[in-house]
Each structure stands twice: as structure tokens, then as C-alpha cells.
Structure 1
Amino acid sequence: MAPRPARPEIAITGLGVVSPAGSTPGDFWTALRAGTSTAAALDHLGLERHRVRIGCRVRGLDQAALAEAERLPAKDARRLDPFAHYGTLAALAAHRDAGHPQAPPGRTAIIVGNAVGGRTTSDRESAHYTSHGPAKVNPLMPLVTMPNAAAAQIAMRLDWHGPALTIATTCASSADAIGHALLLLQTHRADVVLAGGCEATLTPVTLAGFGNLNAVSLRNDDPARASRPFDTDRDGFVMGEGAGFLVLERLEDARARRARPYALLAGYAATADAHHLSMPRPDGSGAADAMRAAIADAGLTPGDIAHVNAHGTSTVHNDRAEAAALRTVFGPHRVPVTSTKGVTGHLIGAAGAVELIAAVQAMRCGEVPPTANHEHTEPGLDIDVVHRAPRPVPTGAALSNSFGFGGHNSSLVVTPA
């Protein structure tokens, strides 16, 4: 077989985040290091009859405190569902953080991961329809709720004319968006890419559905201890919301404009379990295949991985399957594993991007943040879960996992720049 042509190195030059744990990369990292859950009662939603009444909300997102370039006119903000609002703010913040990289408008790309679109608006307009009839439904509802609303808004704000795509692979959506960005840059189909994801699913109907699915924690009286990845006492995930975006460009282009890369995006792979709509393969084989392929795509071996940011949802079946996959891939090399979902909850379509940002920060700082609420690893999982305090790790590559309902598996590898 002919050798693979040399591929350009792809740099991460900008980070933007809107999350329950903070809406700047610095605040976000500080919260992760502290290992304190952001879950709380969602009293404002009127969930008295619901099985699930907790979640991880974005709080304190003050428009006035944003940089001028990221502020949205009040009229525009009112026409955005929260998921698109979060995504637009995070993307513009990443663009600013990268130094506002320039490229011909047609040589840019925006790739957004989103699972469900404008659920807040959809629920509200459904209630209007039930109470007042069809004449009272907002005529902008179809435009506000469409999953591609964030990609469209970002493109309009930046006047970027290249592809503006939305990828939906449930909880792997934004990881796949970032992987697609990697491919666009490696094949020279774009010069600068904004990639990430956004989600806002803390609505009564969505919470009711996930509660009836028995996928989420029912610790309504103790929300701060509800999300417990890989812990023996876990009982499901906690819903969250937010957005994360990264600016990606070829390393040679970043150096030419004297940008300072955070890291290199070195590998990506995706697989499908082809097994069940909500359950992973119990042996974790699909996830293991994605991990192995991403590591190989980066030109590395499992022994080169210094830590893993796990999908780690805090559900019984997902954590067991991911632990099995980690054992398969790493064997006796017990790589340190963390899950940020103990702090942020599960951000669904935004999870992969926000967690990759966490992996980049951990790699740069040389320490892995603790898995919040993890006290005792379930017997038989046999993985090295970082908990109680941050753990120093040697400089090396990091692997970030995202697995979605429907059997979507996505893994990304970052290396020091």
C-alpha cells in the first residue's frame, strides 16, 4: 500500500465557552479544578409534578460584560432560542480569542453540532397553540427552532461565505463537528474553521421525557451530588446546557500571522454501534474502535496518551461500556481518566466541544481536573478515575470521548503545539 501523503498540522488557536461552570475559558477551568457540581433545583420551570427537577443552568451571562464584538442587539437576541444565543456568543468569543483570523469569505467554514434545536421556543409556542390557537403562534418559530440557526447566525455576524453546516449525532454532535473541521483543513477545503456545538434542553417537556426514559438522576433533594461519573452510587446523568467553540487553522498559517496555538488537533474517528437506540454495546467495542482509530489517525499509540476526558455520563450502562472500551484500548497502561460532567452536567450536543476545551486546558496546565462527586469506582470497572483533587500528569497527548444515543461514537486526540 502506498504511504499516506503528509498532512498539514492543524492548530487550535481560539477557545470560547458558555457553560454552567463559567463563560470564559479561565472561569471554566477554575471551576473544573475545584470539582464542584453546578447542578441545582430548576424552580423557575414549575416542575412540581416532574420526576426530574434539577439541572445545570448557564447563569450570570451578562450581555453588558461581553466584548463589544460579541454583544447581540436586543432585537437579535430576542429572535434566538437560547441554544443559538449560547452558540453565537461562544463562537464569537473563540474568534476574538484567536485574534480575529482572516481568510477570503469563501475559504472559511462554520461547523456546529446540535442535537435538538430550539427546544425552549418550541415548547413555548406549543403552549401558545394549546392555549390560544394557531393565530398566536410566532411566525418566526420555524426559523428560531431550526437546528442550523446557530450556524446561520454565526455566518451572518462574521460575513463568512463558506460552508455553514450543522451536524446532529446526539451527544457526539459537536465532537463530530470538530472532526469534520479537521478534515476540511487537512484537505485544504477551508483555511479557517469555527467548530463546536451548542444546546439548551432544560425545558419541562424535555426533562419529562428524559425522566421517563430513566436516564437521568432523581436526586432532586441533593442536586449537587447527583452527577457521579463512574461512581458506584450513580443513578443517571444531570441535564445541562451551554456551548463551546474552537478556531482551527493550519499550523503554518497560524505561525504566519503570529498566532499562539493552544494545541494541535491531531486525530479523529467516528464509529456506529449499530446496536440499540439508547444503549451502548455492553462490551464497549464500538467505542474502543473509535478510540483506537483516533489515536492511530494522530500517528500515536495508546501509550502516548497522557489522559482521557471520558464521556462519563454517570449512567450505569454507559459508564460500564466506556470503562470496558478503555480497558480494551489501554490494557495495563492505566491512563488517568476524568469526566467533566460531574461539574457541568451533560450538555448533550455541546458536550464534545466543551469537553475538548477541558482536555486542551488540562494538557496545557499539566494536570487533570477531578471527577466531581466520584467517591468509589464501581467494582469491576478497573479504570483510574481522577477524583478528590487535580492530578499532575506528564506532558502528552489527550483523548476526548463523546458517545451519543443511537450508537454514535466519536473520539478526538489533541497534542501539545
Structure 2
Amino acid sequence: MQHPISITALSSISPLGNTPDSIWNNYLNDSHCFTKKDGVLVATFPKKLKAVIDTLRQSNVKYKSLDNSVLFAIFASRQAIKTAGWSSTDNFGINIGSSRGATALFEHYHEEFLKNDKANTLSSPTTTLGNISSWVAHDLQTKGPEISHSITCSTALHAMLNGVAWIKSGMCNKFLVGGSEAPLTPFTIAQMQALKIYSRANCQSERSEKSIYPNQALNPNKTENAMILGEGAAMACLELGAHNNALAKIIGVGYATEILKHNASLSTNAICFQRSMTMALGDINPDDIDVIVTHTPGTIKGDQAEINAINTVFCNKTPSLTTNKWKIGHSLGASGLLNIEMAVMMLQHQKFISVPYLKANAPQHIKYILVNAVGFGSNAVSILLSK
């Protein structure tokens, strides 16, 4: 990229917390955030954060009919622009997406329809994906462009791509980008189980490696799929150029798709990732990359395909690899921005966050971090960050 884009604020709400200190401190321990819900492992918010969202829901009569995916986004967006010092008069753009959207609300309305043979009046407007950016814009009272989309699990990083493109085009000089997901619903979990990719581990059983860390993301030696769903939202404030208050700079972006062999799978060597990572690197020597935050959701084929792609692109020197999905699960459309947050924190603290069940050489100095995401449809995105 000829001119960098500064990330001037980051905010999230996830099982790790909602403040930089709590999130970083949780990254420093080797505990995961999984608990059982209706007999299935999930990563959900602690009680105090659930109470915060309930308070937000009760704060406005209009918000009582909104899905958690929208409320998560509103909460995280408020924090992000406050940290960045933005106001509604800045007319910044908004691009917030979700893989599944209003899952709980949709399932509720559909259940009512099956029971009463009649749809609720608000069933359509409150379950569209455009709901998220529109309600965030309403809440923040901004007058800039609003974009919502779903590109499955790479949604949040595609939002970042869009923000970068708008800023570089000169059509907008600031953009709020991110993803939000509230997928811990019976039908959403059942969909993942139907694909046979959901973890069957029991974290309450005897202390085997599988029970201690039921999501074995990035582990090339796992013998069964281990993906676990998590909820959360994460937002980033983007501004053109280098800023004194920048948390990090975006210095490269890459994206690619590949011909589908299966609705839910990558090719064996993840050609899309090879292309997206190479594009993001640009003129930078692959040997100079210190860390890669991988997408690796915990599936055997998906994780191995990304590892194969990394080994192909970084054939001389493999960067230190890490992921947060062993700790907070896969938050689908929000996961890419939660990965960005993890990467920025590592840059700020100059500390590599490892995966407890994997051996990795921690870099002594962290200058460049590459962040990956991909979703159903083999739509990969790679973002290159620097201090």
C-alpha cells in the first residue's frame, strides 16, 4: 500500500471481556472460555457482560426488539468511536457485517410462525443483515455511508477491506469497520454439528489434552474436528495516513477466492490463502514477517490447508503461528476483527501470545503481523499490520 491506514481505536465485547486490560490479561493465561450450554460446549460472555447487554436493551424501547448481534455491535461501536474521539459531525462511514445475523430472533419468529401460522410484524425488518450497520448508524447519529454484508467467516476482514477502499478512494476519510455475531442458538449449532465439524469433547471429563483444551485449533496432530462456536463483536476505527494516536498501521491487504470443490471446504493447499497472503505482503520479504494470526477454526482439513498455504508462501522461514480460537472459539463473522485486536495487542505489548498445547518460537521483536480469515466459499482475506 502506498499510504498506510491507521487503526486509531479498537473495541470489542467477547468472552475475554470488553476493556483492553481485561482482554489482555485473559490472553496472558492458559485458560479457555468454554462452558456447556444445553450439553454443548460454547464460548459465551461472563455474567457481568450479559448484564451490560441487557441494560443496553432496556435503555431504549426500540432496542427491546433487536437481536443480540445488533446490540453487541452497538455496544462495541460506542466504545470504539469514544476512544478514537470521533463525533457524529465527522460523517464517518460504517461497514459492519455478520455471518449469520439475527439468529436467535429469526429462530424465535420462525417458531412463532409454525405455531400460529402468522408472522410477527417486525419479523422481516429486525432480522435482515442490514440491520446491524443501520442501527449502529442510528445509535451514533452519523450521516456517512452505511454498509452491511455477509461473507461468512471472513466478513469482518472484508469490512476492513471496504473501509480501506473507501478511504483510499477519497470518498471518506474515516471508517468504522467490524463484525458481530450471536450464534449460540440451537439451529446454528445444529448446522455446524450437521457438518460434523463441531467439537465432541467434554471439558468436565478426565484431564486429557482433549478435555483441557477441547478446541484444538492450529494443532496439525488432532484426530477429529474440534470447532466450537463463540459470540462477540469487534470494531476498528480507520483513518488515512500515519497518526500519533494509531494503535497500528495497515500496510498491506490481500484477498482471493478459488474454485469450489465443496460448499464448506478449502483446497488441500488453500490456494486462496496463498494468493491473499502474497498480495498483502506486496514488496515485503516474507522472511520479515514475525507472526501470523491464523484463521484455523479447529477443523482437520481447514486448519491443515491453511498451514500448507503458509508453508508454501513462507518456505524459507515460517513466522510464529498463533490463534485465539482455542480460547474463545469461532465467532464466525466477528472472528477476523477479534484476530486483528489480538495482533494489535501483541504489537503494543511486544509479546507473542502462544497456543498452550503447541510449541512455537516466540519472536524477540514484533514488527510485522499477518492476520488471516476465510469462510465458506473459500473467500480469503489477509491483513498486514505494523507498529
**TM-score normalised by the chain length of structure 1:** 0.85
* 2:183 aligned with 1:201: yes
**What corresponds to 2:379 in structure 1?**
408
Tell me the distance in 2 between the aligned counterparts of 1:174 and 1:61: 25
* 2:26 aligned with 1:31: yes
Cα pair distance change 1:40/1:209, threshold 3 Å: same
Q: 2:196–2:225: 8 Å Cα contact kept in structure 1?
A: no
Q: 2:103–2:182: 8 Å Cα contact kept in structure 1?
A: yes
Q: 1:366–1:392: 8 Å Cα contact kept in structure 2?
A: no
Give 1:30 shift.
Answer: 1.6
- Structure 1 residue ranges without an equivalent (≥5): 1-5, 48-52, 376-383
Alignment of 1:97-112 (within 5 A): 97-100=83-86, 104-105=90-91, 108-112=92-96
Which of 60, 65, 71 lines up with 2:47 in the alignment? 60
**What corresponds to 2:14 in structure 1?**
19
Q: Secondary structure at the match of 1:413?
A: strand
Q: Secondary structure at the match of 2:153?
A: helix
Q: 1:244–1:353: 8 Å Cα contact kept in structure 2?
A: yes
Alignment of 1:84-123 (within 5 A): 84-100=70-86, 104-105=90-91, 108-123=92-107
Cα pair distance change 1:227/1:102, threshold 3 Å: same
Alignment of 1:93-242 (within 5 A): 93-100=79-86, 104-105=90-91, 108-134=92-118, 137-220=119-202, 222=204, 225-231=213-219, 232-233=221-222, 234-242=224-232
Give 1:224 shift.
Answer: 5.3
Q: 2:253–2:384: 8 Å Cα contact kept in structure 1?
A: yes
Cα pair distance change 1:206/1:195, threshold 3 Å: same
Q: Secondary structure at the match of 1:404?
A: coil
Q: 1:306–1:393: 8 Å Cα contact kept in structure 2?
A: no
**What corresponds to 2:327 in structure 1?**
343
Which of 282, 300, 307 lines up with 1:323 in the alignment? 307
**What corresponds to 1:356 in structure 2?**
340
Give 1:385 shift.
Answer: 4.3
* 2:59 aligned with 1:73: yes
Q: Aligned partner of 2:302: which letter?
A: N
Q: Aligned partner of 1:295: which letter?
A: L
Give 1:313 shift.
Answer: 1.1
Give 1:348 shift.
Answer: 0.2
Which of 354, 362, 366 lines up with 1:395 in the alignment? 366
Q: Aligned partner of 2:113: which letter?
A: Y
Tell me the distance in 1 between the aligned counterparts of 2:166 and 2:17: 30
Give 1:62 shift.
Answer: 4.3
**What corresponds to 2:252 in structure 1?**
267
Q: Aligned partner of 2:346: which letter?
A: A
Cα pair distance change 1:204/1:186, threshold 3 Å: same
Tell me the distance in 1 between the aligned counterparts of 2:158 and 2:132: 16
Tell me the distance in 1 between the aligned counterparts of 2:111 and 2:372: 37
Tell me the distance in 2 between the aligned counterparts of 1:320 and 1:415: 26
Post-superposition Cα deviations, 1:54-97, rounded to whole Å, max 9, x if no partner, equal 2111223548869x9x8872423312101111111111111111
Q: Secondary structure at the match of 2:47?
A: coil
Post-superposition Cα deviations, 1:115-154, rounded to whole Å, max 9, x if no partner, equal 12101001111112222331xx431121221111110011
Q: Aligned partner of 1:271: which letter?
A: A
Q: State the superposition RMSD in angstroms.
A: 2.2
Give 1:225 shift.
Answer: 2.1
Tell me the distance in 1 between the aligned counterparts of 2:8 and 2:233: 17
Tell me the distance in 2 between the aligned counterparts of 1:392 and 1:24: 26
Q: Aligned partner of 2:108: which letter?
A: R
Q: Aligned partner of 1:243: which letter?
A: A
* 2:285 aligned with 1:290: no
Q: Secondary structure at the match of 2:252?
A: strand
Tell me the distance in 2 between the aligned counterparts of 1:220 and 1:132: 38
Cα pair distance change 1:62/1:237, threshold 3 Å: closer
Tell me the distance in 2 between the aligned counterparts of 1:26 and 1:113: 26
Post-superposition Cα deviations, 1:23-44, rounded to whole Å, max 9, x if no partner, equal 223212221221321111013x
Number of residues of Structure 1 aligned to a counterpart in Structure 2: 377
Q: 1:23–1:61: 8 Å Cα contact kept in structure 2?
A: no
Give 1:338 shift.
Answer: 0.2
Cα pair distance change 1:77/1:102, threshold 3 Å: closer
Q: 1:88–1:153: 8 Å Cα contact kept in structure 2?
A: yes
* 2:248 aligned with 1:277: no
Q: Secondary structure at the match of 1:141?
A: coil
Q: Aligned partner of 2:355: which letter?
A: T
Q: Aligned partner of 1:412: which letter?
A: I
Tell me the distance in 1 between the aligned counterparts of 2:335 and 2:364: 23
Tell me the distance in 1 between the aligned counterparts of 2:94 and 2:352: 30
**TM-score normalised by the chain length of structure 2:** 0.91
Tell me the distance in 2 between the aligned counterparts of 1:147 and 1:58: 22
Query: Which piece of structure 1 moves more, 266-275 or 335-344?
Result: 266-275
- Structure 2 residue ranges without an equivalent (≥5): 205-210
Which of 39, 42, 50 lines up with 2:37 in the alignment? 42
Tell me the distance in 1 between the aligned counterparts of 2:65 and 2:188: 21
Q: 2:58–2:64: 8 Å Cα contact kept in structure 1?
A: no
